[in-house]
Chains A and B, each alone.
Chain A
Amino acid sequence: MTRIMLGSAVLRGTVVGILTTSLMSTSALGAPPVDLSKWSPEYVRSIAGTQDFDTAGDCAKVTPLDYKGRLTFWYQGVFEGDPDLLRQYYKDFFETFRKTYPNIQLEEQALTYNDLLDKFRTALLGNAAPMAVRLQILGGTEFASKGYLQPLKPEDVGYSTEDFWPGAMKAVTWDGVTYGVPTNNETMAFIWNADIFKRAGLDPDKAPATWDDVVKYSKQIHDKLGIAGYGLVARKNAGNTPYRFMPQLWAYGGGVFDEATANPTYKEVELDSPQSKAALQASYDMYVRDKSVPVSALTNQQADNQPLFVAGQLGMMVSHPSDYNVMLDLQAKATGTDKEKAQTVIDNMRYGLIPTGPDGKRAVVFGGSNIHILKPEYVEGGKVDEPAAKAMICMWASPEWSLKMAYAGSNPGNLNGFKTKWMKERLEHIKFLDVTTSMLPYGIPFPALPESPEIMNIIVPDMLQNALTGAMTVDQAADDAAKKVKDLMGGL
Chain B
Amino acid sequence: MTIVTGKTEARRKLQPVRSGALRNIWAHRADYAYVLPAIAVMLVVIAYPIYYTIELSFYKTPPGLQLRDKTFIGFDNYTTILTSEVFWKVTWNTLIWTFGSTFISFVLGFATALALHRDFVGRGVLRAILIIPWVISAVAASYIWKWIYHSDFGIIGAVLVGLGLTDRPPNFIDNVSTVLPSLIVVNIWREFPFAMIMMMAGLQTVPEQLLRAAKVDGANAWQRFWHVTFPHLRNVSVVTILLLAVANFNSFIIPWIMTAGGPSNASHIWITHIYELAFGRQRWGVASAYSVLLFLILMALGYFYVRALSGNERKEGSA
Contact = CB atoms under 8 A, between A and B. Distances in A.
Interface stretch (B18-26, B91-99, B169-177, B296-304): B169-177
A404 to B, nearest CB: 31
Contacts of A308: 152-153
Q: Among A148, A236, A238, which residue has the most Cβ atoms of chain B within 10 A?
A: A236
B259 interface: yes
B231 interface: no
B151 A296 contact: yes
A153 interface: no
B239 interface: no
Contact of A454 (B152, B171, B281): B281
Given A296-B174, A466-B264, A458 B66 contact: no
Contacts of B280: 118, 237, 454, 457-458
Contact of B262 (A122, A145, A235): A235
A434 interface: no
Contacts of B281: 454, 458
Contacts of A468: 263
Contact of A451 (B63, B175, B276): B63
B261 interface: yes
Contact of A236 (B65, B173, B262): B262
Contacts of A121: 279, 282
A122 B282 CA distance: 10
Interface residues of B, number: 33
A148 B284 CA distance: 17
A400 interface: no
Interface string B277-290: 00111101000000
A422 B300 CA distance: 64
B158 interface: no
A4 interface: no
Given A235-B262, A299-B262, A294 B151 contact: yes
A237 B153 contact: no
Interface in A144-166: 145-148
Given A296-B151, A454-B63, A471 B264 contact: yes
Contacts of A228: 152
B236 interface: no
A125 interface: yes
B64 A145 contact: yes
A450 B65 CA distance: 9
B260 A235 contact: yes
A488 B152 contact: no
B64 A146 contact: yes
Given A236-B261, A458-B276, A298 B174 contact: yes
B258 interface: yes
B269 interface: no
Nearest to A472: B264
A296 B150 contact: yes
Given A296-B151, A296-B152, A308-B152, A146 B263 contact: no
A299 B264 contact: no
B181 to A, nearest CB: 15
B262 A488 contact: no
B56 to A, nearest CB: 10
Interface in A347-405: none
B146 interface: yes
A451 B276 CA distance: 15
Nearest to B66: A146
B202 interface: no
B67 interface: yes
Contacts of A465: 262-264
Given A125-B67, A147-B66, A237 B276 contact: yes
B266 interface: yes
Contacts of A470: 176
A462 B176 CA distance: 13
B153 to A, nearest CB: 7
A313 B263 contact: no
A109 interface: no
B269 to A, nearest CB: 15
B153 A299 contact: no
Nearest to A238: B260
Interface string A459-491: 001100110111110000000000000001001
A491 B62 contact: yes
Contact of B176 (A122, A145, A450, A469): A469
Nearest to A477: B264
B260 to A, nearest CB: 5
A42 to B, nearest CB: 41
9 contacts: A148-B66, A228-B152, A235-B260, A236-B262, A238-B260, A294-B152, A295-B151, A296-B174, A465-B262
Interface of A: 118, 121-122, 125, 145-148, 228, 234-238, 294-299, 308, 313, 450-451, 454, 457-458, 461-462, 465-466, 468-472, 488, 491
Interface of B: 62-67, 146, 150-153, 168-169, 171, 173-176, 258-266, 276, 279-282, 284
Given A146-B64, A450-B63, A471-B266, 16 more contacts: A118-B279, A228-B152, A295-B151, A295-B152, A295-B174, A296-B151, A296-B152, A298-B263, A308-B152, A308-B153, A457-B280, A458-B280, A465-B263, A469-B175, A469-B264, A491-B64
Closest 10 CB pairs of A and B: A295-B151, A471-B264, A298-B263, A296-B151, A118-B279, A298-B174, A465-B264, A469-B264, A465-B263, A491-B62
